Amino acid sequence: MTYKIAVLPGDGIGPEVMREALKILDVVERKSGVKFQTKFGHIGGEAYDKFGTPLPEETKKLCFDSNAVLLGSVGGSKWDSLPPHLKPEIGGLLALRKSLKLYANLRPIKVYRSLISISPLSEGVLKDGVDLITVRELSLGVYFGEPRGMDEEKGYDTMVYDRKTVEKIARVAFETARNRRKKVTSVDKANVLYSSIYWRKVVEEVAKDYPDVTLQHMYVDNAAMQLILNPSQFDVILTTNMFGDILSDESAALAGSLGMLPSASLGEKVNLYEPAGGSAPDIAGKNIANPIAQILSLAMMLEFSFNMVDVARKIEKAVEMVIEEGYRTRDIAEIPEKAISTSEMGDRICEKLEVIW
């Protein structure tokens, strides 16, 4: 078996953290016997500098011809003055997401016990552990519903959900829960919104196909509060486009650093995997960025695109072991002088992966 991976390092710290993720992929290839064919492409500001566009046609073709896309990061102040369609984030990343018809965004959050001190929440709130994932619908909802517009008297948007869309995203959440702690919390506003009433109805119908998974409903305002008061209660959060946009960012704060947070966006044929943080141009090229989010994004790729669930768990375990042993990059180090480099963090995780395989 050979899998084709489109590798798009992008801008800022992207190339640096991508190198560390590909070290992990080399270990996986050697240990598992599965072959990975990686081909590099251009995206974002660096693509604009070379080709005059943040998303060259060659890059789009590479992505469509691959089994998965592994992305670093895009953007930076260097390109802020460009017209919207040429900005790395809009003309590059968002255009690629649209081309791939991505419909589900997965944002896992884990607070490691030895990193509780860098979380904004108290140790008392986090003592039972936090390990959750938000499954956010990407293709519909208030961001895309029609009619929408604005005139001199009003601005208006429409939140719409149809059966096909809700069923598709709900199945992603239930299948994800089966590989975790088997609990789905569906977040809506069914006390006041018709679209949420319909959302809840369809989710309950889908749940019948997953008798091994527990389904709980929660209003979005309560969910936002519970993420702060008792985040350990959540396993898989299933929610709409707008609610997921807000809740996933709120939950991201629990970990204390964007350098720890991976993400996956599932498409009709090809999925895209990327760190949740940005390109951090202020530290680019200094070998001090945290590569863990990129490495965990690789683990998500192995799980969701290639069904290598056990391997993904091994990578996650290797990361946890390195963290528990006290190794820190600058963003998560309480004593900056003791921080290790980007490349050393990657090496340490590779060593642990070798040991636990």
**Which candidate, 234, 228, 303, places its Cα nearest to that of 263?**
303
Answer whether residue 351 is part of any domain. yes
49 classed as catalytic: no
245 counts as catalytic: yes
Our answer to whether residue 65 is catalytic in this structure is: no
- Whether 300 is covered by a domain: the verdict is yes
Residue ranges of the chain whose pLDDT lies below 70: none
Q: What is the per-residue pLDDT for 306?
A: 96
286 within a domain of the structure (yes/no): yes
- 141 and 219 assigned to the same domain: yes
In this prediction, residue 207 carries a pLDDT of 98
Q: Mark whether 41 and 70 lie in a shared domain.
A: yes
Peptide bond preceding 147: is omega within 30 degrees of 0, i.e. cis? Answer: yes
Is 194 within a domain? yes
Cα(67)–Cα(36) distance, integer angstroms: 10
Q: What is the pTM of this model?
A: 0.89
Exactly one of 60, 78, 131, 143 is catalytic; name it: 143
Residue 246: predicted pLDDT:
93
Predicted local confidence at residue 296, as pLDDT: 97
171 & 249 share domain: yes
CATH number of the domain that residue 284 is part of: 3.40.718.10
User: What is the count of structural domains for the chain?
Assistant: 2
**Domain limit, last residue, from 255, 286, 313:** 255
269 with 316, same domain? Answer: yes
Rounded to a whole number of angstroms, the distance between the first and last alpha carbons of the chain is: 20
- Of the candidates 3, 8, 92, which has an alpha carbon nearest to the alpha carbon of residue 45? 92
Tell me, yes or no, whether 250 and 262 share the same domain: no
Model pLDDT for residues 85-137, shown as the tens digit of each residue: 999 999 999 899 999 999 999 999 999 888 898 888 888 888 888 999 999 99
Residue 234 within any structural domain of the chain: yes
Per the residue annotation, which of 249, 269, 282, 338 is the catalytic one? 249
Owning domain of residue 213: 120-255
